[in-house]
Amino acid sequence: MNSTEKKLGVATHIRWAIRRDMPELLAIENLSFLRPWSEDDLISHLKQRTVIAMVAEVDCEDVVGYFLYELKKTKIKILKLAVLPSYRGKSVGRQMISKLIGKLTFELRNRLVFNVRESNLNGQLFLKRMGFWCEAINPEFFSDTDEDALEFVYRFKEGSE
């Protein structure tokens, strides 16, 4: 591994998720969340025409992370972002967020929004490192626990395209 790879972590290829990725998405989901979504939950979100799923692959075969996002009129709302535990801290999440940042424009969708559980300190710190700011608290946002969400926002910056 050269010094650039050490600095950047694992190189990933980010592509659209396809149906045959579902077992890997569910495995990552179950390893990442105390209350993981079921296959039905994922599919019901993906049936919405404004929701998109992408995966991060290593060596163009192993899915090591994924994210779901929803296109809104003026923003991109991140619904899920998860990385296999063995690949955390290796820039996979950073590369996935960078992919979304690349979709922002000044004229149309100019911000990313991500609601994070108040108990998810690692997620909050990660988003802060990526340039997100907590702009709101959404009381009882998560219906499974009535836990509050911290709404993190990343705003388009000129020259970040």
CATH number at residue 8: 3.40.630.30
Q: 10 is in which domain, residue-wise?
A: 3-155
H/E element, 4? helix 3-8
Instruction: Examine residue 137 and state whether it is found in any structural domain, yes or no.
Output: yes
Number of domains in the chain: 1
What are the respective helix, strand and coil percentages of the chain, to the nearest 5? 30, 35, 35
Q: Assign 3-class secondary structure to 98-119.
A: HHHHCCCCCCCCCEEEEEEECC
Name the region of 8 (left: φ>0; alpha: ψ -120 to 50; beta: rest): alpha
pLDDT tens digits in sequence order for the chain, 161 residues long: 343 444 558 989 999 999 999 999 999 999 999 889 999 999 999 999 999 999 999 987 899 999 999 999 999 999 999 999 999 999 999 999 999 999 999 888 999 999 999 999 999 999 999 999 999 999 888 877 888 999 999 999 865 44
Instruction: Examine residue 120 and state whether it is found in any structural domain, yes or no.
Output: yes
Residue 62 is encoded by which pair of tokens? 């192993």
pTM: 0.88
Q: Note whether 111 and 154 are within 8 A (CB).
A: yes
Instruction: Examine residue 160 and state whether it is found in any structural domain, yes or no.
Output: no
Instruction: Examine residue 80 and state whether it is found in any structural domain, yes or no.
Output: yes
pLDDT score, position 124: 96
Instruction: Examine residue 59 and state whether it is found in any structural domain, yes or no.
Output: yes
Distance in angstroms (rounded) separating the CA atoms of residues 29 and 79: 13
